[in-house]
C-alpha cells in the first residue's frame, strides 16, 4: 500500500466464486503502490503484505451485507491467455469480521476508500473560504448516461411544471421561508439544484441579500430568464450553470435551500450533493432548509395489489405460445415483477402496525452515510392478517428560528408527486394480532442515481 491503510486483522475470508475454504487474513484498505488507486487487500496470516492473497480494485467493486458481521465483496476480474480473447467475470469474496462494531467500521471504510477522489487539490481552501473539489467527484459516482438522462429530464419545463404544481411541495417551501424571514433577511443563500429558480425567488422575497442559484441542467437558462422577468427580485440572484461538486462561489452562505428529495427520500442521490454543498459553502452555524429527513416504514396488507402483481406473470404460464412452452420462465418472471417497488398512493387503513422511522440529519451526516443505509425493522401486528410487504414514505423538517414546519408524504395526507413506496413480498407472511414482525431494510446506492432495495421480513411462530 502507498498510504497508511485502514487495517482489520484476523478476519475470515473465502473466495465464494472459486468455492475456496475459509482462511484467516488481515484486510487492508489503501492506495495501490503502483497505480495510486483505492484497493482492498486481504493478506493471509503470516504472509508477506507485498503479495496479498486477494487484491480488489475498489473502482469496480460492490459490497453487500449478508449478516451482522458478514459481507460479500463482488468485483470484476479479467483473464487473458495467449491466443484467447480476454474474458471478464465476477469474483465474490466473503469477509467475516469479529464484532458488529468492526463490521460497521469495515463497511464505512469500504465506502470511503471506494469513493475517494485522488486529487492533489481536493479539499484545498481558497482565500475567500470556499473549497476546490475535484472536478471528477460526481463523475466517479454516477454513470455518464444516467447523469445525462437525469439532467435532460430536469432541464425540461414540462417536468418543472409538474413539481411547481405540486402545491403541497411548493406551498410548504413558501411557508417555511416566509414564516422564517429573520433567517433570510440580509443573508447570503445558496439554492442547491435550483431548477426553475422558484426557491431562489422565495428567498429573495424573504429579504435575502444575495442568492446563488446553482443548477447543472439546461434549466439554468430558463431560470435566468425568470430572474430577468422579475427584476426587483432577480437583481439579487445569480444563476450559476454547473454542479455543486464543481462550481466555486465568491463567499460563504448563511442559508442552504434545496429540494433534494426523491422517492423514499434518497432516490436520485441528490441528498449527497446537498451534503457536499453544506461542506463546501455553508458558513459555521449556517442553516439548512430542509434540516432533517425521516423515512417512515410500516407493514401492510393489500390482497388486491398482491393478486394484481402476481397476475402479470400469468403470461408465462402458457404451454403453447405459437408452439413454444413458456412455463420454464414463469418463476423468474414472477420474482421479477415482485422485485420492483410500487410507487402509488394508498389508504392508510392498509397498514397493520404503527410505523417506525429512520432519521437523516442533513446538518451533521457524512456523505458516505448515504452510500448505504441499513434499517432494522421491528413491528407488533395490530390485527391478524396476511402481510404483503413494507410501506414507506418520508417527511422533512424546516427548522427555522421562528417556525418549525414539516413537509410530509404520508398516506392519508394530501398527495404529493412523490406518492408513497411499497415493497411487495412474493411470499406473504401470516401474522396474528400481537405478534412481532422483524427484518431489515437495506438500501445500497448505485451509479444509476438510485438505490437497490434489499428487504427481509419474518414472523416468529410459536
- 334 and 274 part of one domain: no
Q: Which domain holds residue 23?
A: 6-114
Report if residue 447 sits inside a domain.
yes
Structure confidence at residue 66 (pLDDT): 73
Report if residue 44 sits inside a domain.
yes
Report if residue 217 sits inside a domain.
yes
Structure confidence at residue 5 (pLDDT): 60
Report if residue 220 sits inside a domain.
yes
Structure confidence at residue 380 (pLDDT): 96
Q: Which CATH number fits the domain that encloses residue 74?
A: 2.30.29.30
**DSSP β-ladder status, 188-192 and 131-132:** unpaired
pLDDT tens column, 58-106? 776 777 677 788 887 877 665 444 444 444 445 778 889 898 888 888 8
Single residue among 56, 84, 114 that ends a domain in this structure: 114
Report if residue 119 sits inside a domain.
no
Q: What is the grid cell recorded at 317?
A: 404460464
Cα 74 from Cα 89, distance rounded (Å): 10
pLDDT in tens, the chain (462 residues): 544 467 888 888 888 756 567 788 888 888 776 666 788 888 887 665 556 678 888 776 777 677 788 887 877 665 444 444 444 445 778 889 898 888 888 887 887 776 653 333 333 333 333 333 344 455 555 556 555 565 555 567 777 788 888 999 999 999 999 999 999 999 999 999 999 999 999 999 999 999 999 998 888 899 999 999 999 999 999 999 998 988 989 899 999 999 999 999 998 888 999 999 999 999 999 999 999 999 999 999 999 999 999 999 999 999 999 999 999 999 999 999 999 999 999 999 999 999 999 999 999 999 999 999 999 999 999 999 999 999 999 999 999 999 999 999 999 999 999 999 999 999 999 999 999 999 999 999 887 677 889 999 999 765
- 317 and 446 part of one domain: yes
- 444 and 370 part of one domain: yes
- 32 and 82 part of one domain: yes
Helices (H), 8-164: 100-114, 137-141, 144-154, 157-164
Cα 169 from Cα 204, distance rounded (Å): 19
Structure confidence at residue 155 (pLDDT): 62
Other CB atoms within 10 Å distance of the CB of residue 134: 18
- 285 and 314 part of one domain: no
- 316 and 431 part of one domain: yes
Q: What is the grid cell recorded at 367?
A: 456523505
- 313 and 413 part of one domain: yes
As for how many domains the chain has, the answer is 3
Structure confidence at residue 140 (pLDDT): 59
- 440 and 394 part of one domain: yes
Structure confidence at residue 150 (pLDDT): 53
Structure confidence at residue 2 (pLDDT): 46
- 128 and 110 part of one domain: no
Single residue among 114, 142, 169 that ends a domain in this structure: 114
> Per-residue DSSP letters for 283-329?
EEEEEEES-EEEEEEEEE--HHHHHHHHHHGGGGG-S-BTTB--GGG
- 161 and 263 part of one domain: yes
Question: Helix-strand-coil percent breakdown of the chain, rounded to 5?
Answer: 30, 40, 35
pTM over 0.85: no
- 131 and 178 part of one domain: yes
Report if residue 150 sits inside a domain.
yes
Structure confidence at residue 135 (pLDDT): 43
Report if residue 1 sits inside a domain.
no
Single residue among 55, 84, 114 that ends a domain in this structure: 114
- What is the enclosing helix (H) or strand (E) of 422? strand 420-431
Q: Which CATH number fits the domain that encloses residue 250?
A: 3.40.50.150
104 phi and psi angles, rounded to 5 deg: -65, -40
Helices (H), 100-143: 100-114, 137-141
Cis peptide before 184 (omega within 30 of 0): no
Distance of CA 116 to the CA centre of its chain: 17
- 253 and 212 part of one domain: yes
Q: Which CATH number fits the domain that encloses residue 335?
A: 2.70.160.11
Report if residue 434 sits inside a domain.
yes
Amino acid at each position: 500500500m502507498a498510504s497508511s491503510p485502514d487495517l482489520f486483522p484476523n478476519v475470515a475470508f473465502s473466495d465464494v466464486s472459486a468455492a475456496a475454504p475459509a482462511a484467516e487474513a488481515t484486510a487492508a484498505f489503501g492506495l495501490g503502490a503502483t497505480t495510486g488507486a483505492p484497493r482492498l487487500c486481504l493478506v493471509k496470516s503470516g504472509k508477506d503484505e507485498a503479495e496479498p492473497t486477494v487484491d480488489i480494485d475498489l473502482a469496480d467493486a460492490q459490497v453487500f451485507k449478508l449478516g451482522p458481521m458478514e459481507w460479500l465483496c463482488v468485483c470484476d476480474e479479467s483473464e487473458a491467455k495467449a491466443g484467447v480473447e480476454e474474458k471478464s467475470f465476477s469474483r465474490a469474496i466473503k469477509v467475516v469480521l469479529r464484532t458488529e462494531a468492526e463490521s460497521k467500521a469495515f463497511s464505512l471504510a469500504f465506502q470511503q476508500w471506494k469513493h475517494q477522489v485522488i486529487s492533489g487539490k481536493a479539499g484545498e481552501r481558497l482565500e475567500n473560504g470556499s473549497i476546490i473539489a475535484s472536478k471528477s467527484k460526481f463523475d466517479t459516482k454516477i454513470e455518464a448516461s444516467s447523469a445525462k438522462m437525469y439532467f435532460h429530464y430536469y432541464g425540461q419545463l414540462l417536468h418543472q411544471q409538474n413539481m411547481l404544481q405540486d402545491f403541497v411541495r411548493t406551498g410548504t417551501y413558501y411557508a417555511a421561508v416566509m414564516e422564517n424571514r429573520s433567517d433570510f433577511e440580509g443573508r447570503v443563500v445558496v439554492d442547491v439544484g435550483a431548477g426553475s429558480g422558484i426557491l431562489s425567488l422565495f428567498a429573495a422575497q424573504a429579504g435575502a441579500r444575495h442568492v446563488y442559484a446553482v443548477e447543472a441542467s439546461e434549466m439554468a437558462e430558463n431560470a435566468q430568464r425568470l430572474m430577468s422577468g422579475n427584476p426587483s427580485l432577480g437583481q439579487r440572484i445569480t444563476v450559476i450553470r454547473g454542479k455543486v461538486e464543481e462550481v466555486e462561489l465568491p463567499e460563504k452562505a448563511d442559508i442552504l435551500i434545496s429540494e433534494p428529495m426523491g422517492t423514499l427520500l434518497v432516490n436520485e442521490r441528490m441528498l449527497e450533493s446537498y451534503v457536499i454543498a453544506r461542506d463546501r459553502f455553508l458558513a459555521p452555524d449556517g442553516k439548512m432548509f430542509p434540516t432533517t429527513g425521516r423515512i417512515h416504514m410500516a407493514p401492510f396488507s393489500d390482497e388486491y395489489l398482491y393478486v394484481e402483481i402476481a397476475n402479470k406473470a400469468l403470461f408465462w404460464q402458457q404451454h403453447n405460445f405459437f408452439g413454444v412452452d413458456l412455463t420454464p420462465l414463469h418463476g423468474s418472471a414472477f420474482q421479477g415483477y415482485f422485485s420492483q417497488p410500487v410507487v402509488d398512493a394508498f389508504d392508510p387503513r392498509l397498514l397493520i402496525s404503527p410505523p417506525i422511522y429512520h432519521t437523516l440529519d442533513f446538518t451533521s451526516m457524512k456523505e458516505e452515510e448515504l452510500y448505504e443505509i441499513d434499517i432494522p425493522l421491528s413491528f407488533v401486528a395490530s390485527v391478524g392478517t396476511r402481510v404483503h410487504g413494507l410501506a414507506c414514505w418520508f417527511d422533512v423538517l424546516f427548522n427555522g428560528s421562528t417556525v418549525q414546519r414539516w413537509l410530509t408524504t404520508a398516506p392519508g395526507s394530501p398527495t404529493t408527486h412523490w406518492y408513497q413506496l411499497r415493497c411487495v413480498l412474493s411470499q406473504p407472511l401470516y401474522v396474528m394480532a400481537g405478534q412481532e414482525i422483524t427484518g431489515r431494510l437495506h438500501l445500497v446506492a448505485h451509479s444509476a442515481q438510485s438505490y437497490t432495495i434489499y428487504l427481509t421480513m419474518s414472523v416468529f411462530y410459536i
